[in-house]
Structure 1
Amino acid sequence: MQRRKFLKNSSLTTAGLLSVPVLASCKDENKAPETVPPIQAVKPIAVCTWNFGNATAKAWEVLNSGGSALDAVEQGVMIEEADVTNETVGKGGRPDRDGNVTLDACIMDKDGNCGSVVYLQNIAHPISVARKVMEETPHIILAGKGAEKFAYEQGFQKEDLLTESTRKQYQEWLKTSKYETTINIENHDTIGMLAIDANGDIAGACTTSGMAYKVAGRVGDSPIIGAGLYVDNEVGGATATGVGEEVIRTVGSFLIVELMRQGMSPQEACEVGVKRIMKKNEGRKDFQIGFLAINKNGETGGYCVHPGFTYREYSENGHENRQVSSFYQKS
């Protein structure tokens, strides 16, 4: 009898529970379903590492006139390559320890095509040579004398990349020949730029003269697709600055884009990227890394090891230099 009573009560309880959603659904069947408003995409937009406002202004000029993201990032970073007061990029970059200015750059378009030059000498605009590698050869990377020869064949002119300022600094450095990496912009060595054009297509560029007084032949992350730069037109793009060896070890920019593919925001992905590096360098504080990312909607984010890294952003919403948070806080 007790068992029958239990089953009867259970049946009544179950029926009661079932009736609640059924009644609720009947009551609300004529009610319009709730919808989540879509994210309003920001485009066109250009961002770059550090406070290179002239570079983003040039990129915006291209984008605002209907130009492609690829043209925007190339022409944007060319501004810094030509600026001899910027001693970490292009003409006027500080030399290696043998006194030679050697340049690295890469570029990547919406279709995943990419081109790169490493250890290029005597050419002021390595980013444009990298684009020629992408568009005029079946290859992705050209290096050293081969890259230089290719540049001449493409019509680039030979130039002395040392300036009076960097030549004097080099002579002074020879007195001690001490190699050290400064934490922020004085030796950050890179401008990385990402852009989305009016069509919603993404491209990226990265260019550098590398660490000052580096060992001759050294190449960092900047010209390495997946390390210093990566673009996926379905997801977004990322670029890096700082000590390239640490970025290469984690394939940093590719990692960040893949994290965004999995649903992370650009900010969250950059934070994970830096923390991945710091996990492998526990307790180490003598270097800087900064990541910058943008997703398909034009949302941006950045994160770094030490305070000081910033990024420039230009869109219809304005032109500003954004401070980013860091793994180590100000003391």
Structure 2
Amino acid sequence: ICLIILSIINLSVQQLPLVITTWKFTNATIRAWNALNYENLRIIDALVEGCSVCEREQCDYTVGFGGSPDEAGETTLDAMIMDGNTMNIGAVAALRNIKDAISVAKHVLENTKHTMLAGDQASDFAVMMGFKKETLTTSVSKQMWQEWRQKECQPNFWTNVLPNPEQSCGPYTPKSENDINQNWHYPVSNENNHDTIGMVIVDKAGHIVAGTSTNGARNKIPGRVGDSPIPGAGCYADSKIGAAATTGDGDIMMRFLPSLLAVEDLRRGIQPHVAGENAIKRIAEYYPNFMGGIVVADKNGNYGAACHGIDEFPYSVFNKNSQNVVVETVKCFK
């Protein structure tokens, strides 16, 4: 029995370190791996390096500048880092005119006693930390916005307003309370509108960090913040247990704290893929049309994923056993 237990422990240790990332964001995964293993950067810096790749590459135009313009045509950014050793968090929400969202989140983590900064004040903080203000609008995001306006602002996120938001761009005013419909249908999303990068890293010593970066939902109402910078929603990490990170319909997913749910399942001894399934199924019970995915890893480097609302969910994995980044897929619930 002792030999069997030792073999299981050794097998788990051999999988570390681990980098797991939502979607086919392989360049980001490789960068985090190399920073951690070949450049001996701190695990938090490795996470920042990895997520920053997607911010610079504008992964699927749903991470970083130049994508997902809001109703006013502006791109804003959300990002978060959670340190599983200290349970400290740094996050930015609705960050304007600063390209390096995950790096600013790191400064919130390391240079303040706060958890999150938001909006223009977060941008002012970034400037104090040495970042420069510059427009996040590009010719691509401008074209996205113009085409949306030409389609009478469809789709959008308004409900219970006049004029009819399914036929007009507004401006809108609220309906009378007697006319409010509580059973409105949430717009069906797809992976091209909600491709948050979520990343989990477990190093050889068992230190776990998780992070997210996104430019949010395309055509959102200005000021909207999704799940990505919300602790327990966008990601969650506890070095004693494991970590999780999500992607998808942030407005829905943040209502359930799926990353926290998954980690708490790990705490009860549930396997990572089952923990992810449980979190996703909890959401689908109330929102059967939602789209979302989750990656989950435990402290030993075991990992899994789950998803809903699309055919399959690809995610990127790099560990000691793989020797290179591997894109794995999981079939989704519908």
2:184 alignment counterpart: none
SS of 1:256's equivalent in the other structure is helix
SS of 2:61's equivalent in the other structure is coil
Distance 1:85 1:168, change over 3 A: farther
2:129 alignment counterpart: 154
2:215 alignment counterpart: 209
1:299 alignment counterpart: 302
1:27 alignment counterpart: none
Query: What does residue range 238-317 of structure 1 map to in structure 2 within 5 Å?
Result: 238-281=244-287, 284-285=288-289, 287-306=290-309, 307-317=311-321
SS of 1:165's equivalent in the other structure is helix
Q: Tell me how far 1:228 sits from its aligned partner.
A: 0.7
Tell which structure's C-alpha radius of gyration is larger.
1
* Counterpart AA for 1:294: A
Cα pair 2:68 2:193 within 8 Å, conserved: no
* One of 43, 54, 79 as aligned partner of 1:69: 43
1:121 alignment counterpart: 96
2:17 alignment counterpart: 44
* In structure 1, distance between residues paired with 2:261 and 2:109: 23
* Counterpart AA for 1:204: A
* In structure 2, distance between residues paired with 1:188 and 1:177: 18
SS of 2:8's equivalent in the other structure is coil
TM-score, scaled relative to structure 2? 0.84
Distance 1:88 1:259, change over 3 A: same
1:177 alignment counterpart: 153
CA deviation map 1:107-147 (0-9, x unaligned): 01132111111010111111111110111111111110110
* Counterpart AA for 1:212: R
CA deviation map 1:158-192 (0-9, x unaligned): 12111111111211111120126664431123000
* Counterpart AA for 2:326: E
SS of 1:86's equivalent in the other structure is helix
* Counterpart AA for 1:179: P
* In structure 2, distance between residues paired with 1:74 and 1:85: 15
* In structure 2, distance between residues paired with 1:35 and 1:290: 34
TM-score, scaled relative to structure 1? 0.85
Say whether residues 1:54 and 2:54 are aligned partners: no
Q: Tell me how far 1:240 sits from its aligned partner.
A: 0.5
Q: Tell me how far 1:34 sits from its aligned partner.
A: 7.0
* Counterpart AA for 1:165: V
* In structure 2, distance between residues paired with 1:266 and 1:34: 24
2:327 alignment counterpart: 321
Deviating 4+ runs (over 4 angstroms) = 32-35, 180-183
* In structure 2, distance between residues paired with 1:87 and 1:126: 15
* In structure 1, distance between residues paired with 2:17 and 2:33: 8
Query: What is the aligned residue count?
Result: 294
2:174 alignment counterpart: none
SS of 1:108's equivalent in the other structure is strand
Unaligned runs of 5+ in 1: 1-31
Cα pair 1:182 1:188 within 8 Å, conserved: no
Cα pair 1:49 1:312 within 8 Å, conserved: yes
> Highest relative contact order (Cα 8 Å, sep 6+), 1 or 2?
2
Cα pair 2:191 2:291 within 8 Å, conserved: no
* In structure 1, distance between residues paired with 2:76 and 2:3: 58
Cα pair 2:62 2:195 within 8 Å, conserved: yes
* In structure 1, distance between residues paired with 2:114 and 2:37: 32
Indicate the RMSD between aligned Cα atoms, in angstroms. 1.6
Percent identity between the aligned chains? 40
Say whether residues 1:93 and 2:67 are aligned partners: yes
Query: What does residue range 138-149 of structure 1 map to in structure 2 within 5 Å?
Result: 138-149=113-124
Q: Tell me how far 1:33 sits from its aligned partner.
A: 7.1
Cα pair 1:228 1:240 within 8 Å, conserved: yes
* One of 69, 78, 96 as aligned partner of 2:52: 78
* In structure 1, distance between residues paired with 2:119 and 2:331: 37
* In structure 2, distance between residues paired with 1:34 and 1:201: 26
* Counterpart AA for 1:160: T
Cα pair 1:83 1:91 within 8 Å, conserved: no
Q: Tell me how far 1:100 sits from its aligned partner.
A: 1.1
